[in-house]
């Protein structure tokens, strides 16, 4: 517990996910009230119960943060219930396998009507899913920023943390929509930070490296059960020779939120990646 945080209110979107559920629990452990936001209330309630059982304070709200009206309604409800919002963590986001090709370079066969089943290129992906990935990872943070910054500006203070990615810096193969959207996160983090600085609002981002979750276990494997080729490539490219854990993000998020430690920090994206970005691969 930290007395400084006892009267603070933090909103965490994507709070049922692997990373942001841990972030929410960590923030709650400081004594602040944490508002858990996601699309599925049942999943959020599990995190809510864990936090409250540990002596923390958490409340769950279901909301689709890609819907402007719903996000504005959420912000109004939070302010009505708690009187303010000090912190916003934009953790909602993700990828969609339907938007991901199976090949890493153009193959003329992807243009053929009777193409082989394993030849799935950019011309064969579901473009609705492609657009949805971009919408979720961009407007899914923009709408909450606008909705909650309105109230933060009135109180003259606030801190927002967005979630970028290794794809922010260099697109990984096959991740076209995801990489596009995560590159945008660093850009709009800067532009929103500059815009809202005179309102007393700081806006920064965290860029996780390769963090263990159910999806990465399938795509990358694990050191314990065996790595896929892609997984081994990641490990070979990571100086610490390991994947990250969700709790590895908590310290950086807390640092960026805490005015005592980061009051002069805004508009930055901080990699938490085990050194992945330090190696060029050459």
| Catalytic center residues | 178
Which residues is 14 bridged to in the sheet? none
Sequence-ordered alpha helix ranges (H) in 197-273: 214-219, 229-236, 250-257, 259-262
Number of alpha carbons in the 13 Å side-chain half-sphere of residue 46:
10
Say which residues have a Cβ less than 8 Å from residue 230's Cβ, sequence separation at least 6.
219, 220
Closest CA to 166 of 134, 211, 122: 211
Residue 232, φ and ψ in degrees, nearest 5: -65, -35
Number of alpha carbons in the 13 Å side-chain half-sphere of residue 205:
31
**What is d(CA 265, CA 85) in angstroms, rounded to the nearest whole number?**
19
């Amino acid at each position: 517990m930290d007395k400084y945080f006892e009267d603070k209110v933090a909103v965490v979107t994507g709070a049922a996910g692997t990373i942001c559920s841990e972030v929410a629990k960590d923030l709650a452990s400081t004594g602040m009230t944490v508002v858990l936001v996601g699309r599925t209330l049942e999943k959020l309630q599990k995190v809510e119960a864990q936090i409250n059982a540990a002596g923390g304070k958490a409340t769950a709200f279901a909301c689709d943060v890609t819907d402007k009206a719903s996000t504005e309604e959420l912000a109004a409800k939070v302010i009505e219930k708690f009187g303010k919002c000090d912190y916003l963590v934009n953790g909602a986001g993700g990828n969609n396998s339907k938007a991901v090709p199976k090949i890493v370079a153009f193959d003329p066969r992807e243009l053929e009507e009777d193409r082989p089943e394993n030849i799935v290129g950019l011309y064969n992906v579901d473009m609705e899913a492609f657009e949805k990935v971009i919408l979720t990872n961009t407007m899914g943070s923009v709408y909450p920023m606008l909705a909650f910054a309105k109230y933060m500006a009135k109180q003259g203070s606030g801190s927002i943390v967005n979630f970028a990615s290794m794809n922010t810096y260099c697109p990984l193969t096959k991740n076209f929509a995801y990489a596009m959207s995560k590159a945008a996160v660093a850009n709009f983090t800067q532009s929103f930070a500059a815009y809202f600085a005179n309102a007393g609002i700081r806006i920064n981002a965290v860029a996780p490296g390769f963090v263990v979750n159910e999806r990465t276990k399938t795509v990358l494997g694990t050191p314990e059960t065996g790595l896929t080729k892609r997984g081994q490539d990641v490990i070979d490219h990571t100086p610490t020779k390991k994947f990250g854990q969700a709790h590895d993000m908590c310290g950086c998020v807390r640092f960026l939120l805490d005015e005592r430690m980061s009051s002069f920090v805004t508009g930055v994206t901080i990699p938490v990646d085990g050194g992945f970005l330090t190696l060029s691969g050459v």
